[in-house]
Structure 1
Amino acid sequence: MHSISPYAMRCFNPAIESKKIEDRYCVLDQIGQHDLYSLLKIFISAKTENYHVVEDSKQVYKFSKMSFNDETRHIYGWFQVGTYGIKTDIINIESGQVDFEKAQNNAEIIKHYLHMFIPVGFNEAICMMHSYRGHGVKTLFTDIFSPYFREATTLNLQLSPLAYEKAIENWQEANTKELKITKFKGLTDIADQIKNLGHEEQELTMKPPRKGTFGSLKDFFNPDSEQAKIVEVLSELGSQVKTVVELNGKKRTFTVGADAFNSVCRIDFDDSVQMQDGAPMIESVNRWVLVIISEYVLDMYPEFGVQP
């Protein structure tokens, strides 16, 4: 339900003379006279008081409880986003009765955790964006920040998914302790339809024999393995298949399947992320995300001593 998606932030400058494409990306704290960290801080700080309307996508947004650490160059907090444009009924799921009507110009606001790390001296930064029920905020953030960045630098900022391989590099040998299949089941009883919004979401959990495993995580990405065949069969039963892997006493949940390697990487929240009223508590999710950022940093900058 709650997950984090990692992205890389880069800035390509065609004016840089080099035969290697890789050398034509700007060092992010030296984009001309600008620093990406400072641009993000100024932009976000200016949008924390009131909600701003994006008419094209029928969305509203603002940032809240943002933290800026000028020394470590971390930025994190809430990116609060809502949609409007359609009148709906808000029901009480226990009674099935309408509690109130949401008008066309009302927006339901969801808090999405946002975390960025922009190390000094590198042409790549890390951005972590929170998704809820598969709905994220990457497109909206790009739409609102890109024009500001382009006006300041005359260049474009790229925000692209970090390679899935990097996300699972340290977990390749981890043992798979569970398989989870999410599926949707249609409901025939009208009362159940009202309570469950027309369908029922089910999660089937499969566990190996006691003290056993389903193999290592890397086996699920080998198309000739028994694990890949299992995923192919299970995928027909549900909308997605997830592996719960364990390494040195820690667990991590990854989406697997035919398109998982090329899709946006989504890492599910684990039990260490504390929730309140259905939303993650900011300090709790921040501690969890910092661990994941540290894993990326070790993979991306292994010889540079970068401290996230």
Structure 2
Amino acid sequence: MYSISPYLFRSYNKNIMGPKGNHYSPLNNIAGYDLFELLKDFFKKNRDYHDKSDSKQVYRFENLFFDDEQRFISIWFSVGVYGIKTDIIDIKTGKVDFEKAQENAEIIKYFMYFFIPKNFDEAIVLTSNYRSSGVKTLFYSLFSKYFNSMTNQSLQMNPLSYDKAFNSWLDARTTEIRCVKFEGCKDITDQLTLLGHEEQELVIKPKKNKSLGRLRDFIGKGDKLKVIEVLAENSGVIKSVVELGGKKRTFRIGKKATNVMCEIELDDDVEIVGGVPVFESMQKWCIRISKEYAQHMYPGLSIG
């Protein structure tokens, strides 16, 4: 249900030439501003709910956590949508518990993590998704305007490409293939629906002490990718569970995944309460993820 998507922050200035021969500013010196401090200031100014009427959204930032020494930030980005009247029902009884008015908004909390090291022109941003729906577009539209007004530079927030990290995961052994919203075998599916199961999931596992192959086998060309494409015709999402050094990661694969790294499913050790990840548990997990990226992105940088 929850996953994260990794992005890069960069500040583009056509009038400068950086040490790598590009036009990106060191993120702790953007026209005299530090991106870390700009983010802190922006979040503090938006602790109360604001109404983005053009998209019928309300938002605010909560649980602001700033680590000035390690230069990382963790927050809840609380977002709700209004504009339609609906009934809120008790799924056990089918009775209406609450009538949601047109002016009411259901608030969903999205975790966001930022790591902005000094003297580098790329920062790591991890944003959580709920049921594959995220807040990157909303966040970027809000913060980029503030950023530009302060620095007169353009902020870029692009997907963090696969080769920036997790290359080792390409050779990790695949222990499961999950076909979410599987619609094969219609007669059986119809019977399961009568039991109250609205969504089916097909899980494919190898024989004991075996694997289904490497992650890279399901990304490039080959017979295994063809099998995934066949399964995808009857599934909403195809996921590959891989294991490496005692750690597991779950990635989206197949044509419906715009980027194999666009969504990383939460590990089992992330604590969930009431269907929502616990802030501190989510923070620890994102720190681990960012460290794996940092090994490839920031050579020689020591991270605590």
Given the two structures, how large is their TM-score scaled by the length of structure 2? Answer: 0.92
- The separation in 2 between residues aligned to 1:91 and 1:237, in whole angstroms, is 30
Q: Give the secondary structure class of the aligned counterpart of 2:143.
A: helix
- The separation in 2 between residues aligned to 1:85 and 1:209, in whole angstroms, is 51
Structure 1 counterpart of 2:290, from 284, 288, 293: 293
Matched, 1:237 2:234: yes
Alignment of 1:129-278 (within 5 A): 129-183=127-181, 200-224=198-222, 226-258=223-255, 260=257, 262=259, 265-278=262-275
Q: Is the contact between residue 174 and residue 215 of structure 2 (CA under 8 Å) also seen in structure 1? A: yes
Q: Give the secondary structure class of the aligned counterpart of 1:171.
A: helix
Q: CA RMSD in A?
A: 2.2
Q: Is the contact between residue 273 and residue 285 of structure 1 (CA under 8 Å) also seen in structure 2? A: yes
* Deviation of the 1:262 alpha carbon: 3.7
Report the AA paired with residue 35 of structure 1: D
* Deviation of the 1:17 alpha carbon: 4.6
- The separation in 1 between residues aligned to 2:258 and 2:302, in whole angstroms, is 27
**Unmatched tracts of structure 1, length 5 or more:** none
* Deviation of the 1:21 alpha carbon: 8.5
The alignment of Structure 1 onto Structure 2 pairs a total of residues equal to: 299
Q: Is the contact between residue 165 and residue 261 of structure 1 (CA under 8 Å) also seen in structure 2? A: no
Q: 2:76 aligns to what?
A: 78
* Deviation of the 1:287 alpha carbon: 1.1
**Unmatched tracts of structure 2, length 5 or more:** none
Q: Is the contact between residue 252 and residue 260 of structure 2 (CA under 8 Å) also seen in structure 1? A: no
- The separation in 1 between residues aligned to 2:225 and 2:281, in whole angstroms, is 34
Q: 2:26 aligns to what?
A: 27
* Deviation of the 1:270 alpha carbon: 1.7
Q: Give the secondary structure class of the aligned counterpart of 1:289.
A: helix
Report the AA paired with residue 204 of structure 1: L
- The separation in 1 between residues aligned to 2:17 and 2:64, in whole angstroms, is 38
* Deviation of the 1:168 alpha carbon: 3.3
Report the AA paired with residue 168 of structure 1: F
* Deviation of the 1:120 alpha carbon: 0.2
Matched, 1:120 2:157: no
Q: Give the secondary structure class of the aligned counterpart of 2:7.
A: strand
Q: Give the secondary structure class of the aligned counterpart of 2:29.
A: coil
- The separation in 2 between residues aligned to 1:261 and 1:248, in whole angstroms, is 27
Q: Is the contact between residue 251 and residue 261 of structure 2 (CA under 8 Å) also seen in structure 1? A: no
Report the AA paired with residue 44 of structure 2: S
Q: Which of structure 1's runs of 4+ aligned residues deviate more than 4 A?
A: 184-189
Identity within the alignment, %: 46
**Pair 1:169–1:261, CA change in 2 (3 A):** farther
**Pair 1:33–1:180, CA change in 2 (3 A):** same
- The separation in 2 between residues aligned to 1:261 and 1:283, in whole angstroms, is 30
Q: Give the secondary structure class of the aligned counterpart of 1:24.
A: coil
- The separation in 2 between residues aligned to 1:263 and 1:206, in whole angstroms, is 19
**Pair 1:298–1:261, CA change in 2 (3 A):** farther
Q: Give the secondary structure class of the aligned counterpart of 2:166.
A: helix
Q: 1:307 aligns to what?
A: 303
Q: Is the contact between residue 297 and residue 306 of structure 1 (CA under 8 Å) also seen in structure 2? A: no
**Pair 1:231–1:168, CA change in 2 (3 A):** farther
* Deviation of the 1:181 alpha carbon: 0.3
Q: Is the contact between residue 9 and residue 127 of structure 1 (CA under 8 Å) also seen in structure 2? A: yes
Report the AA paired with residue 8 of structure 1: L
- The separation in 1 between residues aligned to 2:65 and 2:207, in whole angstroms, is 46
- The separation in 2 between residues aligned to 1:284 and 1:86, in whole angstroms, is 34
* Structure 1 residues 140-167: Cα deviation after superposition (integer angstroms, max 9, x where no partner): 1011111111110111111110003335
- The separation in 1 between residues aligned to 2:190 and 2:234, in whole angstroms, is 19
* Deviation of the 1:248 alpha carbon: 1.0
Q: Is the contact between residue 167 and residue 265 of structure 1 (CA under 8 Å) also seen in structure 2? A: no
Q: Give the secondary structure class of the aligned counterpart of 2:262.
A: coil
**Pair 1:235–1:252, CA change in 2 (3 A):** same
Given the two structures, how large is their TM-score scaled by the length of structure 1? Answer: 0.91
Report the AA paired with residue 303 of structure 2: Q
Q: Is the contact between residue 252 and residue 261 of structure 2 (CA under 8 Å) also seen in structure 1? A: no
* Structure 1 residues 71-118: Cα deviation after superposition (integer angstroms, max 9, x where no partner): 111000211110001111101100011111100000000111010000
